[in-house]
């Protein structure tokens, strides 16, 4: 079976796709590439994370192409660089969409040096396009926020974010490490199921379906920094017995803590998170995105969803939209953004089964 591939391209004269490969391989100069076709070159990448090891091909192209059928089926990620100050560069990036529809990569990233609302292609325009087409906007050199503005949703940026997303991907040829214990039963179960599914699909020659958005990739990558450990699954399932009296009240900065504890809130219907559809709608403030459609499976709400507790699947959907929430929050005034972050924190707190007495006053309409 051919190694899975990452395809890099660029529509900016100032940045060549080989720069992505050089940073990922961490070498001053690239070795001699292997020629895949007239317009595609590749470099082998062997890497390992805390949980697995894998190999992949890092491929570059200067033209719009997906090669032959074998290469097209191997592409797991597509990463494109554009210049927001040159409108034709953005148009060339958009011209890739018909090609990507045929290969449907799991990871889609649109990269630039810095994105500002003062650019020819405004940051808001780039973000909206990325959201509509399942891309993640990555800035290699993001602007630092002013001292009087706090980042309520801290995240990895730049080339580190690209590598993080690739590490978090479920590669079809990954080799799990036997000695590693994943703290979260949810993450462990998800990775095992995806690995089995990938093997089955490749054995019958079918392409691997999209399973992880960039937000879910962020979740898997963030598991590398979990500070809380679990001796066994029973500890995670009995988390409700833990005394929370010493824990701080949730604020806008507790979202990461809530997400890290996702695996400790139980996985069965009998421990469904105590968060209602109305809670979700309160958190997802009105804007030009149909939040309810994003959070309901298949885009259709039914009577069973309305007015009932949201189950684990809905919680996963909420978490996978965390990056979208962050992008929308960036456009809010500081005071509204703080309130927005508090609502998100409250919703996650309820979703993991947190004691509502500890957040009294935070979820008030005032």
Same domain for 133 and 51, yes or no, is yes
Same domain for 250 and 160, yes or no, is no
Beta strands in the chain (DSSP E): 5-10, 34-37, 40-48, 52-61, 75-81, 107-112, 136-139, 175-176
Same domain for 146 and 9, yes or no, is yes
Mean pLDDT (the chain) is: 73
Same domain for 250 and 157, yes or no, is no
Residue 155 lies in a domain: yes
Higher pLDDT, 283 or 33: 33
Q: What is the distance of C-alpha 353 from the center of its chain?
A: 24
For residues 261 and 352, is the Cβ–Cβ distance under 8 A? yes
- With a cut of 90, say whether residue 158 has pLDDT above it: yes
pTM (two decimals)? 0.53
Same domain for 18 and 159, yes or no, is yes
Q: How far apart are CA 65 and CA 100, in angstroms?
A: 10
Same domain for 262 and 148, yes or no, is no
Residue 197 lies in a domain: no
Q: How far apart are CA 68 and CA 185, in angstroms?
A: 40
For residue 252, the model assigns a pLDDT of 43
**Rounded CA Rg of the chain:** 21
Q: What is the CATH number of the domain that holds 154?
A: 3.40.50.300
- With a cut of 80, say whether residue 96 has pLDDT above it: yes
Same domain for 14 and 148, yes or no, is yes
Range of the domain at 349: 242-366
pLDDT digits (tens, 9 = 90+) for 284-308: 544 444 444 444 443 444 444 444 3
In sequence order, what are the residues at sequence separation of 6 or more whose Cβ sits closer than 8 angstroms to the Cβ of residue 92?
11, 82
The string of DSSP letters for 202-230 reads HHTTPPPPP---HHHHHHHHHGGG-----
Residue 181 lies in a domain: no
Residue 198 lies in a domain: no
Same domain for 29 and 152, yes or no, is yes
Residue 71 lies in a domain: yes
Q: What is the distance of C-alpha 90 from the center of its chain?
A: 22
Residue 225 lies in a domain: no
Same domain for 276 and 363, yes or no, is yes
**Over pLDDT 70: what percentage of the chain?**
55
Q: How far apart are CA 81 and CA 84, in angstroms?
A: 10
pLDDT digits (tens, 9 = 90+) for 220-268: 555 444 444 444 444 444 444 444 444 444 444 444 444 444 444 444 4
Residue that is last in its domain, among 134, 168, 202: 168
Same domain for 11 and 143, yes or no, is yes
Residue 235 lies in a domain: no
Tally the domains of the chain: 2
């Amino acid at each position: 079976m051919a190694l899975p591939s990452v395809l890099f391209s660029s529509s900016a004269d100032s940045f060549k796709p080989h720069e992505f490969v050089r940073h990922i391989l961490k070498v001053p100069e690239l070795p001699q590439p292997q020629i895949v076709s007239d317009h595609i070159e590749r470099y082998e990448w062997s890497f390992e994370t805390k949980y697995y090891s894998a190999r992949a091909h890092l491929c570059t192209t200067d033209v719009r192409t997906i090669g032959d059928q074998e290469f097209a089926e191997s592409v797991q990620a597509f990463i494109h660089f554009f210049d927001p100050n040159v409108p034709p560069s953005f148009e060339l990036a958009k011209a890739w969409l018909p090609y990507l529809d045929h290969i449907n990569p799991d990871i889609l990233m649109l990269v630039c040096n810095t994105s500002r609302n003062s650019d020819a292609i405004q940051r808001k325009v780039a973000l909206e396009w990325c959201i509509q087409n399942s891309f993640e906007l990555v800035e290699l050199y993001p602007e630092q926020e002013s001292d009087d503005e706090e980042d309520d949703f801290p995240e990895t940026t730049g080339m580190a974010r690209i590598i993080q997303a690739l590490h978090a991907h479920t590669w079809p040829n990954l080799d799990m490490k036997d000695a590693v214990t994943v703290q979260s039963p949810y993450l462990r179960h998800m990775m095992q199921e995806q690995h089995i599914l990938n093997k089955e699909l490749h054995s019958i020659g079918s392409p691997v379906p999209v399973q992880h958005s960039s937000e879910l990739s962020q979740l898997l990558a963030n598991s590398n920094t979990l500070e809380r450990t679990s001796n066994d699954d029973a500890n995670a399932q009995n988390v409700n017995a833990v005394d929370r009296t010493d824990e701080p009240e949730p604020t806008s900065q507790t979202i990461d803590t809530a997400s890290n504890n996702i695996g400790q809130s139980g996985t069965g219907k009998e421990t469904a998170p105590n968060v209602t559809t109305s809670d979700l709608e309160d958190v997802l403030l009105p804007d030009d995105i149909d939040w309810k459609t994003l959070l309901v499976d298949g885009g259709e709400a039914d009577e069973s969803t309305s007015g009932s507790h949201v189950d684990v699947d809905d919680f996963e959907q909420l978490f996978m939209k965390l990056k979208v929430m962050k992008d929308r929050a960036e456009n809010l005034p500081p005071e509204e953004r703080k309130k927005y972050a508090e609502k998100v924190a409250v919703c996650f707190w309820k979703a993991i089964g947190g004691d509502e007495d500890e957040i009294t006053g935070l979820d008030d309409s005032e």
